[in-house]
Structure 1
Amino acid sequence: MKIMIVEDDPTIREMIQLALTKWSLETVIVDNFDHVVQCFIHNQPHLVIMDINLPSYDGFYWCQKIREISNVPVIFLSSRDSPMDVVMSVNMGGDDYIQKPFHMDVLTAKINALLRRTYSYSDMLSDVLEHEGVMFHPEKGILSYEGGKAELTKTEVSILKILMQQKGKVVDRKKIMRHLWQDESFVDENTLTVNIVRLRKKLAGIGKENWIVTKKGQGYMVP
């Protein structure tokens, strides 16, 4: 199991990391507090430990962003003692709230309990694809970049999914069409071209122009 620690106090961060390592839990340390969601998507943790008081944006903000793409358990840490913070942590999608200073045995017990409860039923990891800041949620058909969002059709979702899964490689037009036929979509050469044009317009609309590159005589790619 992988635990992501979002804590700007290095002493507390290292203390948590050491304790979790003793429990044979893998840890991911966030060191750039402007890219918490990107770190989450890249590492796909099973649980997040989130401090509330963070630089730039607070833990409530980042929990809300994570909740847009995943249901993994989130435990809030805070030195605040206001009941409103507990209420906020629940409203923002938190699963538990621990006030500082805390005993490490209490934190590890809560982590293990949440992991057992969550993953004994289902795997709740996000299926979000991310590349160059573009976040794509195939299940929801949502594409986002720097605050901009676009909704994709089923065919557009299928096309972008295969391109992002093969990022950096040219995907042959015929391969894309075969992939779409499996999804029971009627696609010929013209239909594929039209959908690529629409995808490019939607990407341009959220600030990503020329993101899908045409390789003449070969196919398309996301570089």
Structure 2
Amino acid sequence: MSTNFIRKHPYIAALIAALICTFLTAVGSAAAQIAELAEVPAYLVMTASMILSVLAGMWLLRRSGLSAKEAGFRSPTSGTVRSIWFCVPLLLMEVIPFVAYGPAFTRQGAEYAVLALFTIVVGFNEELYFRGLVFSFLTGKSRKQAVIGSAVIFGVLHAANALSGTNPAEVLLQIAFAFFAGLVLALIVSITRSLWIGIVWHTVHNFLSFSTEVAFDRTALAVLSAQVLILLIFTIGLWKRGTEAA
């Protein structure tokens, strides 16, 4: 996509970038399922697909005329100490399941090593596209549209996973989680100009989610509700600063 196309059609450009990310991600997952691979080789196949997505994203970044620094691959501009405070609510969300369930790490070390690699690539890949490319494309319209638009696209494309659930409350909460997570991460990028806080949180959240399998019961409903509430409060707290950032 050329710079001129992005300037004239930012939403179309943002949607194309998001769909490329989603398609390449789905290819790896589909290949692993069709081949009926065991868990470790399945994660390796999905990681390879995700790396391909990252390379495509970096190519799009170059084609768009944005530098890596402009896309968010830089240190937070709000100051290291102040930026650390953005991590506190995100960390609290990951502590809640441990309090509710306790540690549940029962796999072999090799499985966790492969899972760690996979989640690192997933975090990098999704932040590159949704808070790097998509957010940057929409910033040409306005900071507020970039925050809302990137969150909506992120939430809609993650809704497919949520809709696979059988519990209506679970489906609604998963969709709400994806949307508000998208808002919070976009607001943090808007304020700090950096993707790294989002990449780290995304990696930690996915690793903890994928490494523990919990049935959706009343406890899980309460945990997910608490996480959505934290994201909502965090969104309200960051909103004015994040949407008015120059």
Q: TM-score range by the shorter chain?
A: under 0.3
Higher relative contact order (CA 8 A, sep 6+): 2
Q: Of the two, which has the highest radius of gyration?
A: 1
Q: Which has the higher helix share?
A: 2
Considering fraction of residues, name the structure with more strand.
1
